[in-house]
Structure 1
Amino acid sequence: MSPTTTTDPLLSTRATLVLLLATLVGIGAGVLRFLGGQSWPTAVLTGVGAAGGALLLFHAIVGDTRT
């Protein structure tokens, strides 16, 4: 017996885009916070919070094409 192979991607294009945009927002917010003179733990927490908010935002506004 030969094993069956699936060609389905792990993540959809929409999920990848939403996660990428949220990650970029989080990194940008953390870097700006760090360059603003805050400590790196504060910058990391700011970046994580911004990424979480951006994830919710982009999940709501990026359209789903499976209608």
Structure 2
Amino acid sequence: MHTDRDSLLSQRSALILLLGVLVGIGAGTVAALGGADAATAVLIGASACGAGITFFNATIA
């Protein structure tokens, strides 16, 4: 039985992923409120999430 309590992600990785997901949710919500259909809003949110993760990975030391 494995009893170590090591975390799966570092704090930096968790922060980068959290910020990326928040950016994606925000962009998808703004797109949906702007009149985009559901599929387009999801695609906009997903691409914004990917771009946010890339940006925050490069920005956060």
Question: Structures share a fold, TM > 0.5?
Answer: yes
What is the CA–CA distance in structure 2 between the aligned matches of 1:23 and 1:41, rounded to whole Å? 17
TM-score (norm 2): 0.95
Identity of aligned residues (%): 48
Rg (Cα) greater in structure: 1
Residue 5 of structure 2 is aligned to residue 7 of structure 1: yes
Deviation at 1:4, TM superposition (A): 4.3
SS of the residue 1:8 aligns to: coil
Per-residue CA distance 1:28-47 (angstroms, 9 max, x = gap): 00000000011010000000
Q: Deviations over 1:9-43 (max 9, x none)?
A: 01110000000000000000000000001101000
4+ runs deviating over 4 angstroms: none
Question: If the length of structure 1 is used for normalisation, what is the TM-score?
Answer: 0.86
Q: Does 2:32 align with 1:34?
A: yes
1:13, 1:27 → 2: CA distance? 21
Aligned residues: 61
The structure carrying a bigger helix percent of its residues is 2
> Structure 1 unaligned runs (5+)?
none
